[in-house]
């Protein structure tokens, strides 16, 4: 039998530094896999949640640190806050994207852009919190690249890099990919649909995975994609049905409908509606505004989603210790840990059994110790070792 592809990692040896770590989406997944994480996060409320959850946390500004401050880290991850970019037209979104892509080129060429980024920060400080012009965020989205390039300069390159954000950030990740490939990384990036990985929610995330050793590829779907009006039994037979809100929220014992006013301008005809036998719409910081009604003729208004239930729709453990203020925003900002587990495992060249992931997602939160991973994983076999590579193993995404 052909030996498996050599791996640099066993999970107990891996150290990860997570930039803009938030309340812990990637970090929860890392914990399940037995990976040690130090998360850097500025937001007070997110740090309170992280501390309550027992996650390694440095409450500070990512820009104040660099790779030398975390010399044992072999994996870099992050989800930097970003403004809305667009590849179309000539408006503010397009100008912001052009600014960032220009900075990426200059950073790759070795230019020092720190003074210009600092000026952006000062401009935003003068503008005040209510009138931010987005320039500071243009600087923050460049931080993971700064870390990656500095680590290369210090001859301590990261073995793997994982980045995630909203789909409009994909052009930035594609620009990152070009820079990293020139420096020896294998890179894949694209947009993933969360329900295709067992998350009871339709959400899209732009993902970048870079590896120094071995092929880089996005995780492959385990569940069918959701289409409005299409039965969950339809689709590729080897994939599992998408997961419903009822599947996730077991304590709700009657069918319900979620009605969202978000983005409708109050027009009842435009309100988003999802039944409990469907996945949730994207969980955002506005989820506490959603109204729930019983299904059927009675049409009774039900209790709104609790913070714990909102977390479960994101696949956080049901007893995850959300703390501080603005919890709905914390929940909505996070990457779903279940998706993050697939992404992180792909970056590490590892795989796990779907049933094992189901168990850890449903289990109580227990920080425990990292040398006993809750989600066992093994090195990915080379294609020659696999009897068949099903067509459905191709990711439903665009790969750089």
Closest CA relative to residue 342, chosen from 320, 360, 369: 360
> Using 50, 70 and 90 to split pLDDT, how confident is the model at 388?
very low
- The residues, any chain, with a CB within 8 Å of residue 26's CB and separated by 6 or more, are 18, 37, 77, 79, 162, 164, 335, 337, 340, 344
Report pLDDT digits (tens) over 212-255: 999 999 999 999 999 998 999 999 999 999 999 999 999 998 99
> Taking a C-beta distance cutoff of 8 angstroms, is the pair 169, 82 a contact?
yes
DSSP code, position 280: B
- The residues, any chain, with a CB within 8 Å of residue 217's CB and separated by 6 or more, are 188, 209, 346, 395, 399
Domains located in the chain, CATH noted: 11-226+334-393 (3.40.50.150), 245-317 (no CATH)
* Other CB atoms within 10 Å distance of the CB of residue 1: 6
pLDDT beyond 50 at 6: no
pLDDT for 367 equals 81
Q: How far apart are CA 32 and CA 338, in angstroms?
A: 10
What is the percent of the chain with per-residue pLDDT over 70, rounded to a whole number?
Answer: 82
> Using 50, 70 and 90 to split pLDDT, how confident is the model at 7?
very low
Structure tokens at 172: 């930035």
pLDDT beyond 90 at 298: no
Strand ranges, E, within the chain: 15-19, 36-41, 57-59, 75-78, 160-165, 186-193, 204-211, 256-260, 272-275, 291-294, 301-302, 350-351, 378-379
Query: Which region among 75-84, 86-95, 287-296 has the lowest average model confidence (pLDDT)?
Result: 86-95
> Taking a C-beta distance cutoff of 8 angstroms, is the pair 231, 364 a contact?
no
Closest CA relative to residue 203, chosen from 191, 189, 219: 191
pLDDT beyond 80 at 97: yes
Structure tokens at 261: 């006013």
Rg of the chain over all Cα atoms, to the nearest angstrom: 21
pLDDT for 1 equals 32
Marked catalytic residue, from 19, 26, 55, 82: 82
Coil, strand or helix at 292: strand
Q: How far apart are CA 47 and CA 60, in angstroms?
A: 10
pLDDT for 132 equals 44
pLDDT beyond 70 at 136: no
Q: Which residues of 370-385 are buried (b: 16+ CB within 10 A; e: fewer)?
A: beebebebebbeeeee
pLDDT beyond 60 at 380: yes
Task: Select the highest-mean-pLDDT range: 296-300, 369-373, 396-400.
Answer: 296-300
> Taking a C-beta distance cutoff of 8 angstroms, is the pair 307, 290 a contact?
no
Q: Assess whether 82 carries a catalytic annotation.
A: yes
Report pLDDT digits (tens) over 49-88: 999 999 999 999 999 999 999 999 999 999 998 766 666 6
Structure tokens at 165: 């954000």
> Taking a C-beta distance cutoff of 8 angstroms, is the pair 148, 158 a contact?
yes
Across the range 252-276, mean pLDDT stands at 75
Structure tokens at 370: 């990292």
Structure tokens at 290: 């959603």
């Amino acid at each position: 039998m052909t030996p498996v592809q050599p791996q640099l990692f066993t999970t107990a040896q891996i150290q990860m530094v997570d930039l803009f770590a938030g309340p812990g989406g990637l970090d929860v997944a890392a914990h399940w896999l037995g990976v040690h994480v130090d998360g850097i996060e500025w937001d007070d409320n997110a740090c309170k949640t992280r501390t309550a959850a027992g996650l390694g946390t440095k409450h500070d500004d990512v820009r104040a640190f660099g790779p030398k401050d975390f010399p044992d880290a072999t994996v870099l991850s992050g989800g930097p806050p970003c403004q809305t970019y667009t590849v179309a037209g000539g408006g503010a979104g397009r100008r912001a994207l052009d600014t960032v892509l220009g900075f990426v080129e200059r950073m790759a060429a070795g230019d020092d852009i720190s003074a210009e980024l600092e000026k952006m920060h000062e401009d935003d400080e003068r503008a005040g919190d209510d009138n931010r012009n987005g320039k500071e965020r243009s600087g923050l989205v460049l931080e993971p690249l700064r870390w990656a390039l500095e680590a290369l300069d210090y001859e301590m390159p990261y073995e793997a890099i994982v980045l995630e954000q909203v789909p409009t950030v994909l052009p930035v990740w594609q620009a990152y990919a070009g820079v990293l490939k020139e420096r020896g990384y294998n890179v894949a990036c694209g947009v993933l649909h969360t329900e295709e990985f067992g998350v009871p929610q339709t959400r899209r995330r732009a993902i970048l995975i870079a590896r120094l050793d071995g092929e880089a590829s996005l995780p492959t779907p385990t569940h069918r994609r959701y289409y409005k009006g299409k039965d969950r039994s339809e689709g590729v037979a080897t994939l599992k049905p998408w997961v419903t809100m009822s599947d996730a929220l077991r304590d709700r014992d009657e069918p319900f409908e979620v009605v969202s006013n978000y983005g409708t301008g109050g027009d009842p005809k435009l309100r988003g509606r999802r039944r409990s036998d469907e996945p949730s719409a994207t969980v955002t910081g506005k989820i506490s505004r959603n109204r729930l009604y019983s299904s059927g003729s009675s049409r009774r208004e039900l209790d709104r989603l609790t913070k714990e239930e909102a977390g479960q729709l994101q696949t956080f453990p049901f007893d995850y210790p959300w703390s501080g203020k603005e919890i709905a925003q914390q929940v909505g900002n996070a990457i779903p840990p279940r998706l993050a587990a697939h992404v992180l495992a792909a970056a590490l060249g590892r795989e796990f059994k779907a049933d094992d992931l189901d168990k850890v997602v449903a289990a109580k939160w227990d920080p425990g110790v990292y040398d006993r991973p809750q989600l066992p994983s093994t090195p990915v076999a080379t294609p020659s070792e696999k009897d068949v590579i099903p067509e459905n193993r191709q990711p439903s995404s665009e790969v750089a």
